[in-house]
Amino acid sequence: MASGSASSPTAGPTAYLIYAWIREIHPLLWRRLLLRSDSTLADLHWVLQIAFGWTDFHLHRFRIRKKDYAIPRHGLVEGHDARRVRLIDLAFRPNERFLYEYDFGDLWQVQARVEQAVPLLPDRTYPVCIGGRWGGPPEDCGGPERFLEQRDAAPWHVHELLQTVVADIETKDAEALLDHVEALHPWREWLATYRFDRRAVNRRLRQYAQGDPGWRCVEEGGAPCD
């Protein structure tokens, strides 16, 4: 694409193709998203929350060209109000990067790259996720290193528990069986991190675009509530 901004503020709205990945996680945990250029940074915040299966329980901020942007909490905001800044106003250059941080305890750092501006399609609802890999990290799981440890351990823990469940069935130990089946439940969320459900993400994104409050309801693994 030619040099200059991905889209001019004086031009009509287009769509930004944004590639976002979480730092310090390998193989890459990523999403590719399309947002209208007249979307605000607040919209992008919600899109990233949906795309990675988070719940906006913690603070966040964007760091763009040494300036901070966020949605105010309790009437306060550190930096600029993300609700008042449209993507097109920032005149991103093709392939320009910026940082989105979420949960300053676990410190999820999402690197985002504005790959290009593309024409809006009349039959497409925006925002939309067009690609991704791996389920998002669960809330309060301890950050990238702890996330990778737990994700890698999940299949082995589940395998061991299933073997125990089979043994309980063979010995007809109902009490132990119930205990071990219950012990499997916390690992469901971790097994879900091995799979990225793009349809579930786009269902919530459509709800967000349509103003349906149901987009805020999310189950384990980032899936929308039924």
- CA angle (53 as vertex; 48, 59 as ends), nearest 5: 60
Cβ atoms of 198 and 131 within 8 Å: the answer is yes
pLDDT at 78: 74
Taking residues 81-99, what's their average pLDDT?
Answer: 97
Taking residues 141-158, what's their average pLDDT?
Answer: 86
pLDDT at 2: 43
pLDDT at 220: 55
Cis peptide bond prior to 155, omega within 30° of 0: no
Above 80 in pLDDT, residue 113?
Answer: yes
pLDDT at 1: 40
Average pLDDT, whole number, for the chain? 87
Global pTM reads 0.85
Interacting residues of 89 by C-beta distance below 8 A, sequence separation 6+: 9
Above 60 in pLDDT, residue 64?
Answer: yes
Choose among 199, 198, 188, 176: nearest CA to 221: 188
Taking residues 125-152, what's their average pLDDT?
Answer: 96
Which CA distances in Å does 215 have to 23, 45, 208?
26, 14, 6
**Count of residues in the chain:** 226
Mean pLDDT lowest among 1-5, 85-89, 135-139, 153-157:
1-5
pLDDT tens per residue, range 31-49: 999 999 999 999 999 999 9
Which CA distances in Å does 42 have to 64, 175, 194?
14, 50, 28
pLDDT at 153: 84
Cβ atoms of 127 and 36 within 8 Å: the answer is yes
pLDDT at 171: 78
Cβ atoms of 70 and 62 within 8 Å: the answer is yes
If one counts every other C-beta atom within 10 angstroms of the C-beta of residue 88, the result is 24
pLDDT tens per residue, range 155-205: 766 667 677 767 767 777 777 667 666 766 776 888 889 999 999 999 999
Query: What percentage of the chain reaches a pLDDT higher than 70?
Result: 82
Which tokens go with 195? 């799979």
In terms of Cβ atoms closer than 10 Å to its own Cβ (0-12, 13-18, 19+), residue 118 is middle
Q: Across-strand partners of 60? A: 102
d(CA 77, CA 106): 20
